[in-house]
Amino acid sequence: MRLISKLIATFVALSLSVQPAMAQSVLRDAETEAVLQEMAAPLVAAAGLEPGNVDIVLINDPSINAFVAGGQAIYIHSGLIDAADSANEVQGVIAHELGHITGGHIIRYGEGMQEATGISLLSLLLGVGAAVAGAGDAGMGVIMAGQRAALGRFLAFSRVQESAADAAGAEYLSKAGISGKGSLAFFGKLQNQAMRYGYSQSDEVAFNQTHPLSAERITRLREDYVVDPAWEAETDPALEGKFQRIKAKLYGYLTEPKRTLNAYPESDQRVEARYARAYAYHKSALIDQALSETDALLKVDPKDPYFLELRGQVLLESGKPDEALPALREATERSGFEPLIASIFGHALIATENRENFDEAERVLRAAVARDRYNPFAWYQLGVVYAARGDMPRARLASAEQQVMSRRYTEALRSAQAAQAGLDEGTPDWLRAQDISFQARAELERMRDRK
């Protein structure tokens, strides 16, 4: 029984590896999300999907990876953005992941699992039969051979899916008029990484991989890319500039300040370098230097909402919410009331502790959650406003919204029930509290069933 348990555990681990988003933190930034969506838009259209219906979600993970986990969402690790040298490389990854979505590979994942498990169970029965007949060694050999065959069948199934996604990705790049050079360059990075870690590129290693070997993928895809009319297409310089901005911004936000300042020294006067240094100084509590960098950025473009947002963020998080308000108000307006930026503005209004600002904070935050319900930070801030006014039922409802998104279902159930008790039955808020109660209760029951 230990052998079959080990095999099942292997399959479970593999199945979980395609759905790690729930266990990892999501990074949200208005500018980054906008740029990733702009990069993906032509590929989404080429894949025959509705524009705006594919989400690009950034995961805080230093490894070089991207995946889909059901639905129309592509999860990209922060490490992949850091490793990519160009927007074109990331577009190659997005095209590949779109191939998984259009191919329904997550839905079909169970087919490979079922077939492999069937082989393993059959070998187990045959092995037990041989053992009962007195051939214990032979029975163990049958079980071990079955385990290997089952795992091999599953891995082969996975490699077929990856190859299909490669082919679909190449097709979408071509239809979108985007060069495959970035795709090949990124596979080259994966190949170099494998070699650095000492992974062999032998047939034996290939048999035990969920993905085809990078060298094989490069060879196969190059044949299609070099003859494609889009092969020599250049990335739009404006889009490339936006990508370099968000890459530096992400680096400055996540990396140790000392490393950031080494990577982007003072001698580097590019916009992306100033972006990275502003975060490095801010994280080091060097507020004057951080503001100096944001002011330099605003000289480049005084109306850029993301530069304004950064200046307001530095001031707010440095304990100066009153000084942050003008920049954040303008950033909110110039971004068209982008929900993430509006959430920071609402937080700054509350942080002034001036009750005269609370009406504006409520308007801003309600507008933010109306456009983006999946924003726990905005719901928390809205709850603070309601609680300050003594409107505890709506404060409880805001808490329930935040808690259910954070998968804290027990707390969400309590908060939603408390909100229902204090709200007028049948009103929109009462109905929403009821919906959260149903959702939280259902999730808790599922968790109990799994245990």
- Give the phi and the psi of residue 233 in degrees, each rounded to 5: -65, 140
Q: What is the pLDDT of residue 161?
A: 66
Q: What is the pLDDT of residue 196?
A: 61
Q: Is 80 exceeded by the pLDDT of residue 28?
A: yes
Q: What is the pLDDT of residue 135?
A: 45
Q: Is 50 exceeded by the pLDDT of residue 18?
A: no
Q: What is the mean pLDDT of residues 176-198?
A: 79
At 21, the pLDDT band (50, 70, 90 cuts) reads: very low
Q: What is the mean pLDDT of residues 317-328?
A: 97
How many whole angstroms separate alpha carbon 244 and alpha carbon 272? 6
Q: What is the pLDDT of residue 155?
A: 43
| H-type alpha helices, 301-408 | 305-317, 321-334, 339-351, 358-371, 376-388, 392-405
Q: Is 60 exceeded by the pLDDT of residue 16?
A: no
Pairing of strands 73-77, 55-59: parallel
What is the reported pTM? 0.79
Q: What is the mean pLDDT of residues 150-156?
A: 43
Could you tell me if residue 255 is left (phi over 0), alpha (psi between -120 and 50 degrees) or otherwise beta? beta
At 163, the pLDDT band (50, 70, 90 cuts) reads: confident
Segment among 112-116, 268-272, 390-394 with least mean pLDDT: 112-116
Q: Is 90 exceeded by the pLDDT of residue 205?
A: no
Q: Is 50 exceeded by the pLDDT of residue 69?
A: yes
Stronger pLDDT, 132 or 222, i.e. the higher one: 222
Q: Is 70 exceeded by the pLDDT of residue 372?
A: yes
Q: What is the pLDDT of residue 71?
A: 78
How many whole angstroms separate alpha carbon 443 and alpha carbon 386? 27
Segment among 6-20, 164-178, 237-251, 272-286 with least mean pLDDT: 6-20
Segment among 100-114, 337-351, 392-406, 417-431 with least mean pLDDT: 100-114
Q: Is 80 exceeded by the pLDDT of residue 14?
A: no
Q: What is the pLDDT of residue 177?
A: 95
Q: Tens digit of pLDDT for each residue in 416-451?
A: 999 999 999 999 999 999 999 999 999 999 998 887
Segment among 136-140, 247-251, 385-389, 444-448 with least mean pLDDT: 136-140
At 305, the pLDDT band (50, 70, 90 cuts) reads: very high
At 395, the pLDDT band (50, 70, 90 cuts) reads: very high
Segment among 216-220, 251-255, 263-267 with least mean pLDDT: 216-220
Q: Is 60 exceeded by the pLDDT of residue 397?
A: yes
Q: What is the pLDDT of residue 199?
A: 54
First to last CA, the chain: 21
3-state secondary structure the chain: CHHHHHHHHHHHHHHHHCCHHHHCCEECCHHHHHHHHHHHHHHHHHCCCCCCCCEEEEECCCCCCEEECCCCEEEEEHHHHHHCCCHHHHHHHHHHHHHHHHCCHHHHHHHHHHHHHHHHHHHHHHHHHHHHCCCHHHHHHHHHHHHHHHHHHHHHHHHHHHHHHHHHHHHHHHHCCCCCHHHHHHHHHHHHHHHHCCCCCCHHHHHCCCCCCHHHHHHHHHHHHCCCCCCCCCCCHHHHHHHHHHHHHHHHHHCCHHHHHHHCCCCCCCHHHHHHHHHHHHHCCCHHHHHHHHHHHHHHCCCCHHHHHHHHHHHHHCCCHHHHHHHHHHHHHHCCCCHHHHHHHHHHHHHCCCHHHHHHHHHHHHHHHHHCCCCHHHHHHHHHHHHHCCCHHHHHHHHHHHHHHCCCHHHHHHHHHHHHHHCCCCCHHHHHHHHHHHHHHHHHHHHHHHC
Q: Is 90 exceeded by the pLDDT of residue 174?
A: yes
Q: What is the pLDDT of residue 287?
A: 96
Q: Is 90 exceeded by the pLDDT of residue 173?
A: yes
Q: What is the pLDDT of residue 165?
A: 85
Q: What is the pLDDT of residue 379?
A: 95
Average of per-residue pLDDT values in the chain: 82
